[in-house]
Structure 1
């Protein structure tokens, strides 16, 4: 189990490294496309690198969704989630330190700007909750589907990584695209009271979406036995 938890820590560390590095430093000049591709490519790379060890969740919502899909043992879920959150926080600490050394004349984002929030000058709680539920449900559905027995072998990380790029392009303008409570927790710690006050939603909405996506994926692929079956 130690190897699996280490893989989840490393994978989530890499994902949050992509979020922080791209959102803090690249996004002010390159825009949201840089963040979307950084996150998607990080998951693609780590799914190939350590996915065979832990399953490559890197996300509490994915873990919960895979439990709902019958693809993961619920007794191991809490350990996975703790490892994921720890990996995300470790990456955020690294980038918090790096940000302290940024030149004053540069154009950088703050941790609040890259955190997930709702209300105030941004989108409402309902809008943010809805987009997070929908995109996380679709993301987990993709994961369940491309790792099913009928999917082409070896291509799952590519589909998962590209799906994550897609959903970030859709959601960054609305919610800064969480889909992942570990990612939201990591940046909120350094984002101040506004980010911490919004954090509950970025646990509830992605996990709810993940469970929905897992349940739908389980139903869609339940009849598969060696090949597609007619209804």
Structure 2
């Protein structure tokens, strides 16, 4: 096996483990800790804020741990944004996407097995899946969910491309990216249960059931569309520190 092959394997494993950690930590906090009750009157749940922080922390920790190996995407939308923005060769996209989806599904399986250890647990509708309409936490329609996912993913990609720009302060990119993901969740958990990540959505959809697999198309389409927009906008507007658009006199 050549050094290049070794490098590709390392990148794939970094993305697999990073995506596993994101889904396991983020969705796990929603499944197990968001509304935890201790006794008849004790609420020890972490709520929306805690879940949002959990997702942000998964990205911060794994970006520092393996970001130097693969770039720390852990998200097919981020990989697409990196390709569109000129940060990653298009030929590497299948490797990243495959590793991310597998990592997400393994995390979903682990969460399902753990959750089933509680007597009376019903997986259907309780696996932190994304959804619209009746499957949205706030009952938001498909148009609202599509729009918020596109907007938030586009800005997420712009934050990532900006934080990893060679002109940006060194060593702070994982913090900026993790805090951005936290903010994204604070905005959109009530709307879509927050995806901005097709691997996160896929990882739990089939274990959740309750309409989630049938709605999964939106949580691929919207994040990928948002990623393409963000991947175009950042280089167009901010690369080289100035607008690339020119006017003629």
Q: TM-score range by the shorter chain?
A: over 0.9
Q: CA deviation at 1:110?
A: 4.3
Aligned counterpart for 2:161 among listed residues 133, 139, 144: 144
5+ residue gaps in structure 1? none
Q: CA deviation at 1:192?
A: 1.0
**Paired position in structure 2 for 1:100:** 116
Q: CA deviation at 1:119?
A: 1.4
Match status 1:212 vs 2:226: no
Matched-pair contact (CA < 8 Å) for 1:23–1:109: no
Give the number of equivalent residue pairs.
225
Matched-pair contact (CA < 8 Å) for 2:25–2:55: yes
Matched-pair contact (CA < 8 Å) for 1:111–1:188: no
Match status 1:66 vs 2:73: no
Q: Deviations over 1:182-213 (max 9, x none)?
A: 00001101111500011000000001001111
Where do residues 1-231 of structure 1 align in structure 2 (5 Å cutoff)? Answer: 1-28=8-35, 29-104=45-120, 110=123, 112-113=125-126, 114-120=128-134, 122-224=139-241
Q: Secondary structure at the residue paired with 2:125?
A: helix
Q: What is the alpha-carbon distance in structure 2 between the residues aligned to residue 44 and residue 210 of structure 1?
A: 20
Give 1 or 2 for the bigger CA radius of gyration: 2
5+ residue gaps in structure 2? 1-7, 36-44
Q: What is the alpha-carbon distance in structure 2 between the residues aligned to residue 109 and residue 178 of structure 1?
A: 22
TM-score w.r.t. structure 2 length? 0.86
Q: What is the alpha-carbon distance in structure 2 between the residues aligned to residue 150 and residue 102 of structure 1?
A: 50
Cα RMSD after superposing both structures: 1.8
Of structures 1 and 2, the one scoring higher in RCO (CA 8 A, sep 6+) is: 1
Question: Structure 1 residues 23 and 98 mapped into 2: Cα distance closer, same or farther (>3 Å)?
Answer: same
TM-score w.r.t. structure 1 length? 0.93
